[in-house]
């Protein structure tokens, strides 16, 4: 049996407004408010910033802010070349705009250009040595490059400068997990959960508990992930696997039923549910699950071997 790795989100959406934004005047129009608002959806942000930029009423740092925020919206929509052009313009308008460098670094990271990404994070940190998000994002780049010690150092600086930055704890926890330091990983994920409960944090902490054979705690974390995001298959399938290990076969199958309801294209869930059905003597149901797993992933040996043992039962 296999659980697909659930990785902590690699990059936090960098700050959406200027680090020291100009005060919004009472008469600011709705487009400006939506362009720079923290909770504006990406598509709405792009539309609002379009209106601000096309209106030609803003100059200097506010115009740079509009380009930076439109670039952020475009990044979230994965329109990376357009995002890069906007962030270049923001930096041209305001060369000391640390947030724009960090956001541009994020675009480069999504484009797998880590050297340019890190250069931008370095510049953001040079401009603002206390910019926690830039340390967090540079730490992610170091982790992607495989330098976990430098990643840990940057995540720790991010936490030093912003102790409430939940994702930095999650990212540092994942770096500790990769170094097989379970105690520190659990401590960081626990802090992340206290600050900002989310599916990935519970799944990641559950994975650590699973790997140190604390299966009841792992199952509890996966169950919490399923509770707070019941349409996300990851909590269900991870808990389902633990239940099968613990010989709660019916419970495991029930969890995989849910997982497959929300993610019917996961070959491992089909295969693992098939293994559960085998243990209950449901050969026909098990064979059907193994065949579906092999349709999705023809090289899945667990399903191949189980189906052979069943003799291709119909």
Q: Is the pLDDT of residue 142 over 50?
A: yes
More confident residue, 31 or 233: 233
pLDDT of 57 reads 87
Please give the mean pLDDT across all residues of the chain. Answer: 90
Helix, strand, coil abundance in the chain, percent, nearest 5: 70, 0, 30
Q: Is the pLDDT of residue 4 over 70?
A: no
Give the containing element (helix H, strand E) for 98: helix 98-110
- The CATH number that applies at residue 230 is 1.25.40.10
29 confidence band (pLDDT: 50, 70, 90): confident
Instruction: Please classify residue 108 by burial: count the beta carbons closer than 10 Å to its beta carbon, then call 0-12 exposed, 13-18 middle and 19+ buried.
Output: buried
Does 203 fall in a domain? no
Contacts 24+ apart (CB under 8 A), 73-76: 73/40, 73/42, 73/43, 73/44, 73/45, 73/46, 73/49, 74/42, 74/46, 75/13, 75/103, 75/106, 75/107, 75/110, 76/13, 76/42
Does 2 fall in a domain? no
Q: Is the pLDDT of residue 9 over 80?
A: no
pLDDT digits (tens, 9 = 90+) for 162-180: 999 999 999 999 999 999 9
- Tokens matching residue 281: 């003597």
313 confidence band (pLDDT: 50, 70, 90): low
Domain that holds residue 255: 214-264
- Mean pLDDT value across residues 11-19: 35
Does 63 fall in a domain? yes
Does 289 fall in a domain? yes
Please state the three-class secondary structure of 45-70 as a single string: HHHHHHHHHHHCCCCHHHHHHHHHHH
Sign of CA dihedral 240, 207, 76, 145: negative
* Contact assessment for residue 206 and residue 221, using Cβ atoms and an 8 Å cutoff: yes
Q: Are residues 160 and 123 part of one domain?
A: no
Does 202 fall in a domain? no
Q: Are residues 156 and 192 part of one domain?
A: yes
pLDDT digits (tens, 9 = 90+) for 104-127: 999 999 999 999 999 999 999 999
Side-chain-side CA neighbours of 220 within 13 Å: the count stands at 5
Query: Domain count of the chain?
Result: 4
Query: Helix, strand, or coil here: 248?
Result: coil
Does 9 fall in a domain? no
Q: Are residues 287 and 252 part of one domain?
A: no
Nearest of 90, 104, 121 to residue 21 by alpha carbon: 90
Structure pTM?
0.85
- Mean pLDDT value across residues 23-52: 83
Instruction: Please classify residue 51 by burial: count the beta carbons closer than 10 Å to its beta carbon, then call 0-12 exposed, 13-18 middle and 19+ buried.
Output: middle
């Amino acid at each position: 049996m296999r659980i697909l790795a659930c990785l902590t989100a690699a990059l936090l959406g960098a700050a959406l407004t200027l680090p020291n934004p100009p005060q919004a005047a009472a008469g600011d129009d709705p487009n400006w408010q939506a362009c720079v608002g923290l909770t504006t959806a990406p598509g709405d942000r792009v539309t609002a910033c379009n209106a601000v930029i096309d209106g030609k009423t803003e100059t200097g740092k506010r115009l740079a802010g509009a380009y930076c925020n439109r670039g952020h919206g475009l990044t979230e929509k994965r329109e990376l070349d357009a995002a890069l052009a906007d962030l270049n313009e923001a930096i041209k308008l305001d060369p000391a705009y640390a947030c724009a460098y960090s956001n541009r670094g994020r675009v480069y990271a999504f484009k797998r250009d880590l050297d340019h990404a890190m250069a931008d994070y370095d510049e953001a940190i040079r401009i603002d040595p206390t910019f926690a998000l830039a340390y967090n994002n540079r730490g992610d780049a170091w982790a992607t490059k495989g330098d976990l010690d430098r990643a840990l150092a940057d995540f720790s600086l991010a936490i030093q400068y912003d102790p409430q930055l939940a994702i930095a704890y999650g990212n540092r926890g994942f770096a500790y997990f990769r170094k097989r330091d379970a105690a520190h990983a659990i401590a960081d994920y626990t802090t992340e959960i206290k600050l900002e409960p989310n599916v990935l944090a519970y799944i990641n902490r559950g994975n650590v508990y699973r790997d140190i054979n604390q299966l009841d705690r792992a199952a509890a974390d996966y169950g919490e992930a399923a509770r707070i995001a019941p349409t996300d298959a990851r909590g269900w399938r991870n808990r389902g696997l633990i239940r099968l290990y613990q010989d709660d076969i019916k419970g495991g199958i029930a969890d995989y039923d849910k997982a497959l309801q929300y993610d019917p294209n996961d070959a491992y869930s089909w295969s693992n549910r098939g293994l559960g059905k085998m243990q209950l003597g449901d050969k026909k149901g098990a064979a059907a699950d193994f065949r579906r797993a092999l349709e999705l992933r023809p090289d899945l040996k667990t399903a191949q071997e189980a189906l052979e043992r069943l003799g291709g039962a119909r």
